[in-house]
Amino acid sequence: MQHHDNRQRVGLIDYAALRQEVGIEQVLVILEFRPVVRKGPQLRGPCPIHKSSSATSRSFSVNLDRGVYKCFGCGSEGTTLDLCQAAFGGTLYEAAIDACQRLGIEPPRRK
């Protein structure tokens, strides 16, 4: 029964609206990402997901214009919400709620 309740709850977030509202750059701020290299919209630096051991690592790559990331160390890649889920853990729903709380915004709800 609880699993069914969780599925209903998942449908309450408007993920498309959340993707429009929250940019990957905002998530990088939450994660305290410090790029080592910046070329236009492309950032490279230590991975905030697997916590690169070197502060000068460039394994983590982000394209701010496209809102995508990839880590060449741990293999994690995707969009803003994928980054939230990889960094904060849990389900997509839980990661979305966590990101909204950290950003001080209300999660957009489906009508």
For residue 6, is pLDDT > 70?
Answer: no
Query: Using one digit for the tens of pLDDT, what is the confidence trace for 55-97?
Result: 889 999 999 999 999 999 999 999 999 999 999 999 999 999 9
Provide the percentage of residues in the chain whose pLDDT is more than 70: 90
**CATH class of this structure's domain 21-103:** alpha beta
**Which tokens in the block code for residue 73?**
């160390």
pTM equals: 0.83
**Any idea where the domains of the chain sit in the sequence?**
21-103
**How many Å from the N-terminal Cα to the C-terminal Cα in the chain?**
24
